[in-house]
Amino acid sequence: MAQTLHKYLNTIFTLFIFSSLHVTQSHEFSRKLSTKSLGFKKLKLTHLHFYFHDTISGDHPTAVLVAQAPTTKNSSTSFGGVFVMDDPLTVGPEPNSTLVGSAQGIYASDSLSEVRLLMALTFVFVEGKHNGSTLSLLGSNSIFAPLREMPIVGGSGVFRFATGYALAKTHTSNLTSLDAIIEYNVYVLHY
């Protein structure tokens, strides 16, 4: 009887030890891994080239003014104006060119002295092997400069661990309607 009880307690004790070990492991906060163990083998450099269509005018705008300050309309730089965009990205500059994704996010005029936009957007790709993958861009866009550079701060899907930069160049713009087509060259390091 005593032996059976001893065995029983032993089993309980063993189970307790193992389960507490298990609990400790599954609640581990941080551990070191090799990149290979998650399937990340080789760092690659990818160049993406596309055109960004920003349409403010007409019945089907892809960028809309969602907020502004009482003084925005009087500001020479539209300081305080905030737009939300879902702008199509295409292979060529023509609006009917093949769609490769969209630029979804926000741009806001954040300079009192020049027309400069804070860009906070996600490139959401739909093309081929990039379908469903994204790149996140966060940077300052001095829109009248011939070439603007903005950082790529991350990515998802095939672009996990992405880091890089985007170069933007105005292809065409209409100063009346404020619609613009921008050429983008994006360089990203990713696995």
Ligand X SMILES: *[C@@H]1O[C@H](CO)[C@@H](O)[C@H](O)[C@H]1NC(C)=O
CB 95 to ligand X: min, Å? 8
Residues 6+ apart with CB under 8 A from 144: 114, 115
Asked if 176 is part of the footprint of ligand X (rule: CB under 6 A), the reply reads: yes
Asked if 96 is part of the footprint of ligand X (rule: CB under 6 A), the reply reads: yes
- Yes or no: say if 135 and 188 are a contact pair by the CB < 8 Å rule: yes
CB 74 to ligand X: min, Å? 4
Q: How many angstroms separate the Cα of 170 from the Cα of each of 18, 51, 139?
A: 63, 9, 16
Q: Which tokens sit at 26?
A: 């599954």
- How far is the C-alpha of 59 from the C-alpha of 116, rounded, in Å? 26
How many CB atoms sit inside 10 A of residue 118's CB? 15
Site size with ligand X, rule: CB under 6 A:
12
Asked if 70 is part of the footprint of ligand X (rule: CB under 6 A), the reply reads: yes
What is the full DSSP assignment across 55-93?
Answer: --SSSS-SEEEEE--TTGGG-TT-TT-EEEEEEEEESSS
H or E stretch covering 12: helix 2-26
- How far is the C-alpha of 43 from the C-alpha of 171, rounded, in Å? 32
CB 182 to ligand X: min, Å? 16
Asked if 91 is part of the footprint of ligand X (rule: CB under 6 A), the reply reads: no
CB 98 to ligand X: min, Å? 7
Among 11-19, 67-75, 148-156, 157-165, the segment contacting ligand X (CB under 6 A)? 67-75
> Which of 25, 74, 76, 113: binder of ligand X (CB under 6 A)?
74
Q: Which of residues 4-33 bind ligand X (CB under 6 A)?
A: none
Cα–chain-centroid distance for residue 31?
26
- Of the pair 56, 106, the CB lying nearest ligand X is at 56
> Which of 8, 38, 64, 132: binder of ligand X (CB under 6 A)?
132
Which residues here bind ligand X, judged by CB under 6 A?
A: 57, 70-71, 74, 94, 96, 126, 131-132, 174, 176-177
